[in-house]
A = this chain, B = another copy of it.
Amino acid sequence: MTTLLTPDELEAKLRDIGARRYHRLHPFHHLLHGGKCTKGQVQAWALNRYYYQAMIPVKDASLIARCLDGEVRREWRSRLVDHDGNAAGEGGIARWLKLTDGLGLDRDYVTSLAGLLPATRFAVEAYVHFVAGKTLLEAIASSLTELFSPAIISERIEGMLRHYDFVTAETLAYFSVRPPQARRDSEFALAYVKENAKTPEQQALALKALEFKCDVLWAMLDALHHAYVAPKHIPPGAFVPDE
């Protein structure tokens, strides 16, 4: 990329990455939302995705830790509040554990990470390292998958409640509170990227960062699909569903 895009052109290119590479398009999500998963597959999804949820505040804190702009730090801090809450049992991670509880997974087993797919661990940690090591602009741009999450979440809640008798609105509480948070966060991040990607090189880095993040989410589902959708290839040591 050698020409400078206008902020709106940059936004259009960012949204186009989502339209082509966001994990809403992944075959595993079609199975999950379309009622085609077994309970064991839903368990495996929730168990693996738990690690992603658990590392989000670590990722966000590492972004705050390297940010010299108090306004950005203050704004970004709301993400810590959303995920960690103000007391034990509150916040997004606690709500995710209500989902794994509701699916019949032992909480100590989930939080021990003992059954995690290694590929999930590698993808999540790649994201954490990316945010800790790249420029602040790239770190913020990598969060922009949230631009696309409200649509997938409404699809997920609707599809999972309709198709699975082992899922309830209460166990899906994580998702019901997320869309307004995601909208607020992604609006801030998008405005930041549009304002601070001032050269063609910076714009290219911001676009690459969003592609990278789409790759992280996609790779997590690829690993899940490979391990748990027939023909199953569960790697040594990972969670083996009862059914």
Contacts and interface: CB of A to CB of B under 8 A. Distances in A.
A27 B236 contact: no
Interface residues of A, number: 28
Interface string A203-225: 00000000110111011001101
Contacts of A72: none
Given A122-B119, A123-B119, A126-B125, A235 B223 contact: no
Given A211-B237, A236-B214, A219 B20 contact: no
B222 A119 contact: yes
A129 interface: yes
A89 to B, nearest CB: 31
A240 B177 CA distance: 40
Contact of A27 (B122, B214, B219, B233): B233
Contacts of A20: 236
Interface in A49-70: none
B129 A219 contact: no
Contacts of A219: 117-119, 122, 223, 235
Nearest to A27: B233
A36 to B, nearest CB: 15
A156 interface: no
A106 to B, nearest CB: 22
A60 to B, nearest CB: 19
A127 B212 CA distance: 19
A235 B231 CA distance: 19
Contacts of A27: 233
7 contacts: A20-B236, A119-B219, A122-B216, A122-B219, A222-B233, A225-B233, A226-B226
Given A118-B216, A122-B219, A225-B233, 19 more contacts: A27-B233, A118-B218, A118-B219, A119-B119, A119-B123, A119-B223, A121-B126, A122-B126, A125-B126, A126-B126, A214-B236, A215-B235, A215-B237, A218-B235, A222-B227, A222-B235, A223-B223, A226-B226, A226-B233
